Amino acid sequence: MDPIRAAEPRTDPTIDPAGGAPPPCPSDVACALRQAARARYEAWASGTQTAPPAQDDPCQDFARLETHDFDLCVTERPKNPVLYLRESGDTEDVLPKDVEQGQIGDCSLLATLLALSRSPEGRAVIKNAIVENRNDQGQVMSYTVTLHEPKDRWIFGKTFSGVKITVDPVYAEGHAVIAKDGDASEVWPLVLEKAFAQYVGGYNKLNQGSTANVPMEALTGRPATNLALESYGEGRLERDLAAGKLVVLETMTKFSGPKVDGMIPNHAYDVTGTERRHGELYVTFSNPWGTSQPCPVPYAELGRWFSRVDVGSVR
């Protein structure tokens, strides 16, 4: 989901220590960019370089997101990272306000994180998924994230096997927005975003988007469904929300109905609840952008903007 961006899916071995020989460079300029990116990556990964990239660095330019190479630009090391940051007034380590989409087109993943962060069971899924790997001095050197790979079995239905993915604390330019308190940077959304990117084949692949049932299953290890909106029904929506289900609505690639503030084509929204107004059911949403929040929409009018619904569970 998210605006269609024709990014070329690639994991560049020149910035991936686990990769093999670099692929052929299409030009001397491309080779120079890769070499510069690798040097910058290694400097940031070792902690010997803390200054931000130069203003003319190609990894700072998101003017053309459809061709921006997110795998090439794995260069950002947050300052004073902490996995969870409890700011003044916070009641939990993990909260919806921690989640905000950056320039990467992964709204379905971020909408799923929003949905998980709204319940005790969902917050437990997030916290249980991440393990910090520390050196002898107690410094966090990497994170191991447990995701779940689904397999369809004809007789037994869908089963899941755990997949452990280790990520270092250096992230792609355009990552999820970092929540900060003073100098501290909260990184749990970045860690899960990077792990899921590796799971699907790289940041560029992640930028191409997916339906939300994919990250729902990977994070929870439970089956999730992607349905046409017309086959869903308002009664099921109310029952699913009452049962603590994860519900994400996907907008059409192009709207034919009237414009609504905060409604973005080809985008995913976490459904936060419903309310009755004069007997009519209204649906409330959360936009992973953290801004441009749409007003509640009557269920009967959802079909003007939305085409699909993803439903997952944590229980």
What pLDDT, in 10s, does the model give residues 21-52? 334 444 455 455 555 655 655 565 566 655 44
pLDDT band at 7; cut points 50, 70, 90: very low
Higher pLDDT, 16 or 270: 270
Its CATH architecture, for the domain 225-312, is: Alpha-Beta Complex (3.90)
Higher pLDDT, 7 or 309: 309
In the prediction, which pLDDT does 26 show? 43
In the prediction, which pLDDT does 179 show? 86
pLDDT band at 12; cut points 50, 70, 90: very low
Q: Strands (DSSP E) along the chain, which ranges?
A: 74-76, 81-82, 130-134, 140-153, 157-167, 171-172, 179-181, 184-186, 225-228, 246-251, 268-277, 280-286, 297-298, 306-312
In the prediction, which pLDDT does 75 show? 77
Tokens of 149: 């790979």
Q: How far apart are CA 40 and CA 48, in angstroms?
A: 10
In the prediction, which pLDDT does 25 show? 42
pLDDT tens figures, 97-126: 999 999 899 999 999 999 999 999 999 999
Q: Strands (DSSP E) along 18-105, which ranges?
A: 74-76, 81-82
Is the pLDDT at 166 greater than 80? The verdict is: yes
Name the least confident of 54-63, 68-77, 158-167, 242-251. 54-63
The percentage of the chain sitting over the pLDDT mark of 70, rounded to a whole number, equals 78
Is the pLDDT at 9 greater than 50? The verdict is: no
Mean pLDDT of the chain: 83
Q: How far apart are CA 30 and CA 42, in angstroms?
A: 18
In the prediction, which pLDDT does 53 show? 47
pLDDT band at 96; cut points 50, 70, 90: very high
pLDDT tens figures, 274-284: 999 999 999 99
pLDDT band at 61; cut points 50, 70, 90: low
Q: Are 248 and 111 in contact (CB under 8 A)?
A: yes
What residue segments make up the domains of the chain, in order of their start? 81-220, 225-312
- In angstroms, what CA-CA distances link 149 with 38, 73, 105, 259? 30, 27, 22, 38
pLDDT (average), residues 72-95: 89
Q: How far apart are CA 175 and CA 169, in angstroms?
A: 12
pLDDT (average), residues 215-232: 97
Q: Are 94 and 72 in contact (CB under 8 A)?
A: no
Sign of the torsion formed by the C-alpha atoms of 147, 311, 7 and 192: negative
Query: How far apart, in Å, do the first and last CA atoms of the chain sit?
Result: 26
Is the pLDDT at 11 greater than 80? The verdict is: no
Q: How far apart are CA 114 and CA 215, in angstroms?
A: 12
Is the pLDDT at 81 greater than 80? The verdict is: yes
Point out which residues pair with 247 in neighbouring strands. 311
